[in-house]
Structure 1
Amino acid sequence: MQSVTTTVDSVVIIPTYNEKENVAAIIEAVFALPRKFDVLIIDDNSPDGTADIVKDLQKDHPGHLHLLQRAGKLGLGTAYIAGFKWALEHGYSYVCEMDADFSHNPNDLLKLYDACANQGADVAIGSRYVTGVNVVNWPMGRVLMSFYASRYVRIVTGMPINDSTAGFVCYRSEVLRKLPLDSIRFKGYAFQIEMKFLAYKYGFKIVEVPIIFVNRVLGTSKMSSGIFSEGFFGVLRLKWSSLFHKYR
């Protein structure tokens, strides 16, 4: 893994598992933006050679493209926690997370960054539901499940957030330094809910930036019924435990 030798103040963390069809394109799309972001790929030992593609691209982006390889498929939440810690150790002021499959438009990184860097937000969420339902090419059943899952989270937790399960987020580094990253309990997509809930409870300013979410064209979705089960029951546990915790 290369060390950071740049004054770029922001990094985009992209977890991967079997994303050979997308990883090169998403990396180049981020580097083509008019504002400079570094990129950290966290690969969970993809058997399709995703990490090898990233290693080859590092030759073209020395000091800006970084790779963290893990021993196996350890979960989305633990991937992001590892990435957050890496970003803090390397002094970035803004830390973004996004998917590798182009369901998140790399151009929207500029809007998320601007919300945190120039408009006073501590956490900026790329939101599918803040201005209606902005999802393209998802089956209707999945759209409804996602939409009402976010409504459910909002009712149970009291968070004034329309898209609590969103995985397209920019954090100010101060937020990540404050949150108890080692105590995050969820490993799947409920991780996204827990991070937002903690940021909300600690009093950070959270804003939602409208985006259009597009279902992946290449590769295979990592969603499963277990992910939704974790989210449903996990939200109840989050709310219950928060009743006995003081957030300073």
Structure 2
Amino acid sequence: MKTLIVIPTYNEKENIQAIVPAVLAQNLSVDILVVDDNSPDGTGAIVREMQKSIPQLHLLSRPGKQGLGKAYIAGFRWGMDHGYEAITEMDADFSHRPEDLGPLLSKLQTHDFAVGSRYISGGRTVNWGLIRKIISRGGGIYARMILGFPLNDWTGGFNAWKKEVLIGIDLSTVESNGYSFQIELKYKALKKGFKGAESPIVFEDRRVGQSKMSLKIVIEAFYRVWIMRFK
């Protein structure tokens, strides 16, 4: 399948120069789309310079910071418009390891979408504090109980989708933009009858920069799960 890796960025100049060659070094015959929200640190300009020597690299520049969910949806639509059959979400900060990309994509040979999972055998987190572990693990259990599907990692953002799934769930109906965005995508796909598989990943804390997690994002996820369930 013609495959695109979508990497959203906002102030990721230190990471983007390393993550792009690390992904391509996996020899998976993928292209990369950086969706940059007009990063003040010049991330977009760095990507444009890298494009001169990396033909597999593409850039979608947006006028300002509009949230992770909207960045991914813009990337999904760009990918579908350009003929990609599979589209993968991936962070720029190495919290999603490039070496886990191959096993994740291989799940699409037998399933409609694949979830990079920290909470199945072989998956784990590294360098996380206790509070973050509780929020992440607890959030997944909470979503699983309310939404009713036996998925172990609802909140993770290292996921691969066949084009048919993204078309089927209708991206225009996705309302979440923060932490709950990943939950909503998976729930809509499962409700539509698409088959997902989980692939173990090792999730490390970001190497450079600060986490974009906030209390507002966590609270949004807490109440939006109920909206998803009963809408």
Alignment TM-score, normalising by the size of structure 1? 0.91
Q: Which runs of 5+ in 2 are unaligned?
A: none
Offset at residue 20 of structure 1 (A): 0.8
- Gapped runs of 5+ residues in structure 1? 1-7, 242-248
Alignment of 1:47 with 2:37, yes or no, is: no
Q: How does 1:140-155 map to 2 (within 5 A)?
A: 140-155=130-145
Distance across 2 between alignment mates of 1:213 and 1:49: 27
The answer for the alignment partner of 1:3 in structure 2 is: none
- How far apart are 1:44 and its partner, in Å? 0.6
Aligned counterpart, 1:27: 20
Which residue of the partner structure matches residue 226 of structure 2?
236
Q: CA deviation at 1:35?
A: 1.5
How far does the alpha carbon of each residue in 1:20-69 deviate from its partner, in whole angstroms, 9 at most, with x for none? 1101100111111122110000001100011111001000112x111001
Q: Residue 181 of structure 1 corresponds to which residue in structure 2?
A: 171
* 3-state SS, counterpart of residue 13 of structure 2: coil
Q: CA deviation at 1:207?
A: 0.7
Pairwise mapping of residues 66-85 of structure 1 onto structure 2 (< 5 A)? 66-85=58-77
Pairwise CA RMSD: 1.1
Matched with 1:108 is 100
Structure 1 residue 153 displacement after superposition: 0.2
CA gap of 1:231–1:125, structure 2 versus 1, over 3 A, is same
Identical columns (%):
48
Change (3 A) 1:99 1:138: same
1:90 has 2:49 as partner? no
The one-letter amino acid of 2:153's match is D
Counterpart residue type for residue 86 of structure 2: Y
Q: 1:132 deviation in Å?
A: 7.6
Q: Secondary structure at the match of 2:99?
A: helix
User: What is the number of residues matched between the two proteins?
Assistant: 231
**Please, what TM-score do these two structures have when normalized by structure 2?**
0.98
Q: What letter corresponds to residue 210 of structure 1 in structure 2?
A: P
C-alpha distance in 1 between matches for 2:207 and 2:128 = 11
Distance 1:169 1:133 in 2: 14
Residues 28 and 132 (structure 1), Cα distance of their counterparts in 2 relative to 1, 3 Å cut: closer
* Alpha-carbon contact 2:67-2:177 (below 8 Å) kept: yes
* Distance in 2 separating the partners of 1:14 and 1:46: 13
